[in-house]
A and B are shown apart, each in its own frame.
Chain A
Amino acid sequence: EAGVTQFPSHSVIEKGQTVTLRCDPISGHDNLYWYRRVMGKEIKFLLHFVKESKQDESGMPNNRFLAERTGGTYSTLKVQPAELEDSGVYFCASSHRRATNEKLFFGSGTQLSVL
């Protein structure tokens, strides 16, 4: 079974540019999460999809961040325009069901560097 895959693994862009990160969850997983880890800090929640619906986007830093999950399969996270403080590792995770305790399966992350 394929795990959670993220693309690209590393992106280096200049301030003001746009970057789009992609996440393919494990097939059949309804829950999809985006997390971010800034250097030296804890992994922080960004948002949660259940299928194609945004369940909780309380962790999104500001309106420069836009996440979509069309069709309830893969998800994209777009940062436009990118700022220096957006640098970090963006993790995607998925899990199977909604209302019970479910462990998260993580992707390898996208290392974003904004120069």
Chain B
Amino acid sequence: EDKVVQSPLSLVVHEGDTVTLNCSYEVTNFRSLLWYKQEKKAPTFLFMLTSSGIEKKSGRLSSILDKKELFSILNITATQTGDSAVYLCAGPRGTSGTYKYIFGTGTRLKVLA
């Protein structure tokens, strides 16, 4: 059965710390892996990773995919209280023309001032 597993489930850090969030997946017909940030309402898109070993960066956030090990990490450096959110990892699966996204349970990050 396809699955996406995230760890840790929850994390509490202080401002300025660096955190690494993990996502492992077993998805048939793997296409890409997506990271989302969910604060209060709608999950917002962070990264889409399709190729192994290529780091994607956006400000203090970065992510990388290891297709061989079926693994991705999301790094956040110099964390701020505004980074507090649930971070979701998702893997689309399916064949051409029809695919759905399998989500992990998320990692709840709380950054303390």
Question: Which residue numbers of A lie inside 8 Å of B, CB to CB?
Answer: 3-4, 33, 35, 40-45, 48, 50, 55-56, 58-59, 91, 98-99, 101, 103-109
B98 and A48 contacting across the interface, CB-CB below 8 Å: yes
Q: Which 6 A-B pairs have the closest CB atoms?
A: A108-B41, A43-B103, A106-B42, A42-B105, A101-B32, A108-B42
Chain A residues positioned under 8 Å from B96 (CB to CB):
99
The reply to whether A103 and B41 form a contact with Cβ atoms under 8 Å apart is: no
Chain B positions 59-109 with a Cβ under 8 Å from a chain A Cβ: 88, 90, 92, 94, 96-106
Taking A45-B100, A108-B42 as known contacts, 19 extra A-B pairs with beta carbons closer than 8 A to each other, sorted by chain A number, are: A42-B104, A45-B101, A45-B102, A48-B99, A50-B98, A56-B100, A98-B98, A99-B97, A101-B31, A101-B48, A101-B92, A103-B45, A103-B48, A104-B90, A106-B36, A106-B43, A106-B44, A108-B41, A109-B41
Q: Does B21 contact A (CB under 8 A)?
A: no
Which residue of A44, A98, A108 is within 8 Å of B103 (Cβ)?
A44
Write 6 A-B pairs (CB below 8 A) sorted by A numbering.
Answer: A4-B42, A91-B43, A101-B32, A103-B34, A103-B45, A103-B48
Asked if B7 CB lies within 8 Å of chain A CBs, one says no
Binding site for A on B (CB under 8 A): 4, 31-32, 34, 36, 41-45, 48, 50, 88, 90, 92, 94, 96-106
Q: Is the CB of B98 within 8 A of A55?
A: yes
Do A105 and B100 have beta carbons less than 8 Å apart? no
The residue from A3, A59, A99, A109 contacting B100, defined by CB atoms under 8 A apart:
A59
B32 cross-chain contacts in A, Cβ below 8 A = 101
| Contact call B98/A42, Cβ cutoff below 8 A | no
* Chain A residues within an 8 Å CB radius of B97: 50, 55, 98-99
Q: Which A-chain residue is minimally distant from B88 (CB atoms)?
A: A43
B50 & A42 in contact (Cβ 8 Å cutoff): no
Of the candidates B34, B43, B92, B106, the one whose C-beta lies within 8 Å of that of A42 is B106
Considering only CB atoms, which chain B residue lies closest to A103 in the complex? B45
